[in-house]
Amino acid sequence: MTAAAELLRDAAERLRGAGVDNPRLDARVLWEHAQKITLSPTSVGERENLFESFIARRIAREPVAYITGHKEFWSLDFEVGPGVLVPRPESETLIEQLLKAFPDREAAHEFLDLGTGSGCLLISALKQYPSARGIGVDSSPSALAMARRNVEKHGLLGRCRLIEGDFSKIEGRFGGILANPPYIPNGDIASLAPEVRLHEPLQALDGGQDGLDSYRVLVPLTERLLTPDGLAFFEIGSSQSGAVSALLGGRLVGVARDLAGIDRCVIGRGS
C-alpha cells in the first residue's frame, strides 16, 4: 500500500469514528483538494500537513464545501464559505420547475431571487435564459460579497444586479421569483446535523416557531412584485406544502417534488 493510500485509509477511519457520512468519499475529496493547492516553497510533508488540517476540520463537522470553498449546483461551480448556506441538490427543483413553466429559453425574462445567498438559484436561471436579467437580494453583506464573486465568475455582471437590504423595499415587476427562505422550525434547529447546526448561518435556517415566518412575508410580497402572468417558486420543508399552499390560497399553481419524492417547491401566480 502506498503512503497516500495509507493516509486516505487512516483519514477515512477517523472520519467514520467522528460520525461523518461517506467518510471515504470525503477523505478522497479533501485529498484531491490538497493536491490542487499551490504550495510555495514546498517542504517535505507540507501537502500531507495541509490534508491533515482539512481532515481535522471535517472531524469538527465543518462542511466539505466550506473546506474546499466550492459546491456544484445545476452542473455549475459556486464559491461558498462560512456565512452562506451550502447549495443543496433538492434546491435544483426550483430551476427544474422554472424551466417547465417558461419553456422559451430566448425570452427576455426579469427574475428576482429573494435571499440569494451564494447566488446559485439566480445564476443558474440566468445561464438557462441568455436574454434574461435578474436581481438578487440578501440582508447579509458576506453572502452578497460571495454572490458577486459568483456572478462575475459566471460572466453575468451585465445581466445581474445584487441588492443588500429588506425584501419589502424591492420595486418593480418580475416574471419569475425564486425564494429559498429559512424554513426550519426553531425548535428543530438543535436536532439538525452538526454540519448545518454548528456551521451554516442561523439566519438562513430559522423559520420561526412553525417554520413559516418567511412565507408570511414573501407570499403577499410576491403578489405585488409579480407580473400578472408571473410565477413565484418557493422552496419548502418536507411537511410544509399544505401550509404554504394555504397561504397562497387562490394563487396556488401547484406543488412539485424533488428527486427523493418529497414536496419541495410550491408555485404561486401573481394574481
Closest CA to 230 of 172, 175, 173: 175
* Number of CB atoms found within 10 A of residue 43's CB: 8
Domains of the chain in start order, with CATH, are: 3-60 (no CATH), 71-269 (3.40.50.150)
Residue pair 209/215 in contact (Cβ under 8 Å)? The answer is no
| Residues 158-180: tens digit of each pLDDT | 999 999 988 888 999 999 999 99
Q: What is the pTM of this model?
A: 0.93
Closest CA to 236 of 130, 93, 134, 117: 93
Instruction: Please tell me the distance from the alpha carbon of residue 15 to that of residue 1, in angstroms, as a whole number.
Output: 20
Angle between helices 213-225 and 241-248 (to 10 degrees): 40
Checking DSSP bridges between strand 133-138 and strand 160-164, what pairing results, if any? parallel
Name the DSSP letter for residue 83: T
Cα-Cα-Cα-Cα dihedral sign, residues 34, 40, 45, 50: negative
* Cis before 89? omega within 30: no
pLDDT value at residue 271? 81
* Number of CB atoms found within 10 A of residue 208's CB: 16
Written as nine digits, the cell of 104 is 422559451
Cα-Cα-Cα-Cα dihedral sign, residues 252, 254, 260, 262: positive
Instruction: Please tell me the distance from the alpha carbon of residue 170 to that of residue 208, in angstroms, as a whole number.
Output: 23
pLDDT value at residue 2? 78
Our CA angle for 250, 253, 254, nearest 5°, is 120
Written as nine digits, the cell of 77 is 461551480
pLDDT value at residue 230? 96
In tens digits, what is the pLDDT along the chain, a chain of 271 residues? 677 888 899 999 999 999 999 999 999 999 999 988 866 655 657 888 899 999 999 999 999 999 999 999 999 999 999 999 999 999 999 999 999 999 999 999 999 999 999 999 999 999 999 999 999 999 999 999 999 999 999 999 999 999 998 888 899 999 999 999 999 999 999 999 999 999 999 999 999 999 999 999 999 999 999 999 999 999 999 999 999 999 999 999 999 999 999 999 999 999 8
**Beta bridge pairs of residue 133:** 110
pLDDT value at residue 46? 81
Question: Could you tell me where the DSSP H helices lie in the chain?
Answer: 3-17, 23-36, 46-59, 64-68, 92-101, 120-128, 141-153, 194-197, 213-225, 241-248
Q: How far does Cα 225 stand from its chain's mean position?
A: 23
- CA torsion, ordered 264, 202, 195, 235, to nearest 10 deg: 10
Provide CB contacts within 8 A for 123, sequence distance 6+: 76, 78, 150, 151, 154, 156, 160
pLDDT value at residue 40? 60
